[in-house]
Homo-oligomer: A and B are copies of this chain.
């Protein structure tokens, strides 16, 4: 299947480059051109530096101008002031360079006619040369492939092909698409707690490449299963619905957080990226499909994308959810959150109750929520036996485990096995605030278990998944 509106290969030179030129490379690490050089230095491809005032930066030679580059590079990263950008874009387009990334600000987001006109000229120059343009007013892009980090933002290392994440037993990768560079930087830090990110793609003012282009390109990439998308608007807002549709058609799962849902937010967007969004029946239809969830709380974006990427598709027939905890209090909070989200937590059928009564201590509750009590801290198999019984119950589509630090991470592989055996998601909800990242890695890195940091996030995701 190919896209009806954008050749899916058209971003390959930007996102799978063999050669990159950094224009405005600097030895000053506090300058954008210095930070970008620092990040690009780890990339495994042909990197050329352009700087007319230096012969070398470190051991790398500098070219005096774009014209003197030894090849028409796949991508030129422009870390230069706004007043030099237009000439550089014209040169790149005339040389057959595949794509440019423009960091500079001062374009349509200023809200004045001059800025809008300057941005339109950049887009026209790129289009005339068959070149793609990212930005202006963007922080760049990163990919796990060959450790590409063509950005002045310090994204964390992404999940590379050599780290074992491609094989069996690895968590599915997530691509992060964020129009805002600051949000991309913030959200990408989920990598530090073990979320395997394949790409971080920003587009700022979106004068050419926008989030719809990224969705369509990612749709064709096998190395991510989930996409976390946050955006303000697009160059052409009507392109979003078909782009979401194409990603879903190709088996991607999408969590989407749109900025500017309020009147003051809309007003601020006009002065930020000056891009547009628009409600439409086509967009509503795309957003209601199985495999996509929209949310307002940005802090839940990554965990929702990870959940969708890990959850079975389609969802089981059952609509109930079971709650299993080592504490009565967290079980009560969980069914409260389920109720708020419209998720039912029915009681187990008789045979399940009998099995629970056989494995649980006398004073535990062989019900839903099922409370193994603190006994399960000393006898961890209690929890596994109860999980087995609940997952086998045909009334449940999923199992939610509010989790405390006194519980053993050794249980995760066996819980994941039970999840796969029954084809039902097992969601681990971390109950303590700000857990250390090391505590979260074993769940994030598991190919099956879904991690949530709030009960509301968990049950709202389950509600959306069950509706699908």
Residue positions of A touching B, CB distance < 8 A: 30, 105-106, 109-110, 115, 139, 153-154, 178-183, 185-187, 189-190, 192-193, 230, 232, 259-265, 268-269, 271-273, 296-299, 302-303, 325-333, 335-340, 345, 362-363, 365, 367-369, 371, 373-374, 378, 404-406, 431-437, 440, 453-456
Given that A180-B329, A259-B329, A262-B340 are known contacts, is A433 also in contact with B105, CB under 8 Å in the complex? Answer: no
- Would B406 and A434 count as touching, CB distance under 8 A? no
Q: List B contacts of A183 (CB < 8 A).
A: 327, 329-330, 333, 431
Q: List B contacts of A333 (CB < 8 A).
A: 183, 259, 265, 298
Closest partner residue, chain B, to A112 (CB atom) = B363
Given that A264-B339, A328-B272, A332-B260 are known contacts, is A105 also in contact with B363, CB under 8 Å in the complex? Answer: yes
Q: List B contacts of A371 (CB < 8 A).
A: 271-272
Closest partner residue, chain B, to A258 (CB atom) = B336
Name the distance in Å between A429's Cβ and chain B's nearest Cβ: 10
Closest partner residue, chain B, to A152 (CB atom) = B374
The answer for the CA separation of A298 and B436 in the assembled complex, in Å, is: 18
Q: List B contacts of A298 (CB < 8 A).
A: 333, 431, 455
The answer for the CA separation of A371 and B374 in the assembled complex, in Å, is: 49
Name the distance in Å between A102's Cβ and chain B's nearest Cβ: 14
Name the distance in Å between A224's Cβ and chain B's nearest Cβ: 18
Question: Which among B139, B265, B454 is the interface contact of A297 at CB below 8 angstroms?
Answer: B454
- Would B335 and A369 count as touching, CB distance under 8 A? no
Name the distance in Å between A284's Cβ and chain B's nearest Cβ: 19
Q: Which 8 A-B pairs have the closest CB atoms?
A: A180-B329, A182-B327, A262-B339, A272-B328, A186-B432, A264-B335, A189-B432, A186-B431
Name the distance in Å between A382's Cβ and chain B's nearest Cβ: 14
Q: List B contacts of A431 (CB < 8 A).
A: 182-183, 186, 298-299
Q: List B contacts of A109 (CB < 8 A).
A: 328, 363
- Would A335 and B268 count as touching, CB distance under 8 A? yes
Given that A180-B329, A269-B332 are known contacts, is A189 also in contact with B297, CB under 8 Å in the complex? Answer: no
Q: List B contacts of A187 (CB < 8 A).
A: 432-433
The answer for the CA separation of A193 and B193 in the assembled complex, in Å, is: 16
- Would B265 and A329 count as touching, CB distance under 8 A? no
Name the distance in Å between A346's Cβ and chain B's nearest Cβ: 9
Name the distance in Å between A167's Cβ and chain B's nearest Cβ: 26
The answer for the CA separation of A139 and B406 in the assembled complex, in Å, is: 13
Q: List B contacts of A369 (CB < 8 A).
A: 264, 268
- Would A296 and B332 count as touching, CB distance under 8 A? no
- Would B106 and A363 count as touching, CB distance under 8 A? yes
Listed A/B pairs (29) with beta-carbon separation below 8 Å: A109-B328, A139-B374, A153-B406, A180-B327, A180-B328, A181-B329, A182-B327, A182-B328, A183-B327, A183-B431, A186-B330, A186-B405, A189-B405, A232-B329, A259-B336, A261-B339, A262-B335, A262-B336, A262-B338, A264-B345, A265-B332, A268-B332, A268-B369, A271-B328, A272-B328, A272-B331, A296-B340, A297-B454, A299-B431
